[in-house]
Structure 1
Amino acid sequence: MTTLTTPTRDLDQLAADHARDGFVLVKGLLSKEEAADYRARSHELIERLNRNDDPTWASAADVAMGQATSLRHVHDAQFYDAAFGRLLLDPRFTDVAGAVLGTPNVQLHHTKLFIKPPENGSPFPLHQDHPFFPHKYHRVGAAIFHFDDAPDEKGCVRVIPGSHTSGPREHSAEGSFHLTDVPFSDAVPQPAEAGDVLFFSYLTVHGSGINTSDEARTTWLIQYRDPADPPLTDQHSGSLGQGMILAGIDPTNRNPQ
């Protein structure tokens, strides 16, 4: 795995590493000051919206070994705070997204803001994102922005390197789409610092552990795609702003969906 640091970022090398491993951790895409500002905005937004829904998967209990855990989130943060909208269009992000997709054209699919509370922040079982919104050519990716440090004890993201090369896998539909044939212990932790961004394919097997630390873990997930890759279902089609072009153009000229 290669980690690349701003400003000496080699997009060709990054794309090659992503193609090989299914993910790449980009160090320092945001400054520490920017990350701290986004962390504050994230917590303020979730408090302001005051939503009590907990998106913890039922199958998370398997990873947590029965421990009660919780999670806070909000979809489409860019529709509540303009700073998130600016980040969607930031060339530091879109340049990398385009490089790993292999196209200058980058289209928004959806976003999710997550806060894992201290001591019992919910894990995510191993899964691919593919079952939630399958596309014809699999040119769909994710970027996880870390707004604070995410060591292993805070429930950092874990991945199975090279797992994207096997294509879509069979997921259990009980409790949520998750994999039952890959031990959680096989996934490699990807500890990150505030400002780092983890890019990965929607075919890459990934998950995350429990936040057992005394601090919250704050991340923003952006799912993006090549606009020339048509969706196979209408799953997740209700996400606000889906179809927005973040870089380049939509060569298909079809209506966003």
Structure 2
Amino acid sequence: MPPISLTPEERQFYQKNGYVHVRGLLTPEDAAAYRRESHALAERIGENDATWASQRGQGTRITHCHDVQFQSAAFSRLLLDERLTGVAQSIIGPNVQLHHCKMFIKPPEKGSPFPMHQDYPYFPHARHSMIAAIIHFDDAPDEKGCLRVAPGSQALGPLESVGADHHLPEFPLETATPIPAKAGDAIFMNYLLVHGSGINRSNEARTTLLVQMRDPEDEPLTEGHGSRGQGMMLAGVDPRREAFAFAWERKTA
């Protein structure tokens, strides 16, 4: 499939609001195939729950898996898909580097919510080039706990957060802007954008892949939130000049 680039209007929308909704990034057939791959992976890895600490004990659950490209070649192909990387280049620039990725499945009727937060506290960077792409493998209407955002909040910069989950109680989830999405849609957002999602109250799962990407020249301020795949170039090159070292010689976070 050919690369996809943002139009000038979409770029302007992103700059103002901190996110852009790209409809039909994947075909319905592609999305359905990745949904099957995601649920097959969930079956293989077994029971797990990524519900945030502040939301535990309320009867909800969410399945997740980091570094899915090491579990299934299908996800390796998706990370390098020019439809994904083309939009990322429209935002970041020609060089796009993987920070990490993770699959989420919100189960029917009890899929865990995410309170409003910024991604910044988890992996702060000097130039704030970090973006997330949320790729939808099935429909995500509001009743499934779709993404909710505070448009323009990225302009506020890093905000002081609360608790281990770094949530922002001054931004109620209920009053945030919902972004319902169709299977194959993707939402690209800056990591300073305040966002969250509600409980999946529907009778169907909500299945997504989150891909965090950055400019390789944007220096991390901390070395937390490491990933096996971190540093993989998805588009362009890494222009930094570093002395060669074998992987086993490098320090890891």
Who is 1:85 aligned against?
A: 76
Q: Displacement, 1:15?
A: 2.1
Secondary structure at 1:250 match in 2: coil
Write the distance in 2 (CA, Å) between the matches of 1:107 and 1:124. 26
Who is 1:212 aligned against?
A: 201
1:247 is aligned, of 229, 232, 235, to 235
- Any idea what the Cα deviations from partners look like across 1:193-236, whole Å, max 9, x if unmatched? 00000000000000000000000000000000011100000111
Secondary structure at 1:35 match in 2: helix
**Gap change, CA 1:45 and 1:97, over 3 Å in 2:** same
Write the distance in 2 (CA, Å) between the matches of 1:140 and 1:173. 22
Who is 1:32 aligned against?
A: 28
Who is 1:181 aligned against?
A: 170
**Gap change, CA 1:254 and 1:210, over 3 Å in 2:** farther
Residues 12 and 99, structure 1, Cα contact 8 Å, conserved in 2: no
Q: Displacement, 1:10?
A: 4.1
Give the RMSD, CA atoms, in angstroms.
Answer: 1.8
Who is 1:146 aligned against?
A: 136
Q: Displacement, 1:178?
A: 0.8
2:212 is aligned, of 223, 228, 248, to 223
Residues 108 and 241, structure 1, Cα contact 8 Å, conserved in 2: yes
Q: Displacement, 1:87?
A: 0.8
- Any idea what the Cα deviations from partners look like across 1:42-83, whole Å, max 9, x if unmatched? 000110121x3311012236xxxx741011010011111111
Q: Displacement, 1:106?
A: 0.2
**Gap change, CA 1:8 and 1:229, over 3 Å in 2:** closer
**Gap change, CA 1:73 and 1:173, over 3 Å in 2:** same
Who is 1:199 aligned against?
A: 188
Q: Structure 1 residue runs of 4+, over 6 Å off?
A: none
For normalisation by structure 2, the TM-score amounts to 0.92
- 2:117 equivalent to 1:122: no
Who is 2:61 aligned against?
A: 70
Secondary structure at 1:44 match in 2: helix
2:42 is aligned, of 34, 46, 71, to 46
Write the distance in 1 (CA, Å) between the matches of 2:199 and 2:190. 23
Residue segments in structure 2 that go unaligned for 5+ positions in a row: 244-249
Who is 1:59 aligned against?
A: 54
Residues 25 and 83, structure 2, Cα contact 8 Å, conserved in 1: yes
Secondary structure at 1:59 match in 2: helix
Residues 132 and 190, structure 2, Cα contact 8 Å, conserved in 1: yes
- Any idea what the Cα deviations from partners look like across 1:174-207, whole Å, max 9, x if unmatched? 4x21112212222100000000000000000000
Who is 1:3 aligned against?
A: none
Write the distance in 2 (CA, Å) between the matches of 1:9 and 1:74. 29
- Any idea what the Cα deviations from partners look like across 1:88-133, whole Å, max 9, x if unmatched? 11111111011112x1100000001000000010000000000000
Write the distance in 2 (CA, Å) between the matches of 1:7 and 1:80. 25
Aligned pair count reads: 244
Write the distance in 1 (CA, Å) between the matches of 2:239 and 2:178. 37
Write the distance in 2 (CA, Å) between the matches of 1:202 and 1:122. 21
Who is 2:246 aligned against?
A: none
Percent identity of equivalent pairs: 56
For normalisation by structure 1, the TM-score amounts to 0.90
Residues 5 and 86, structure 2, Cα contact 8 Å, conserved in 1: no
Secondary structure at 2:101 match in 1: strand
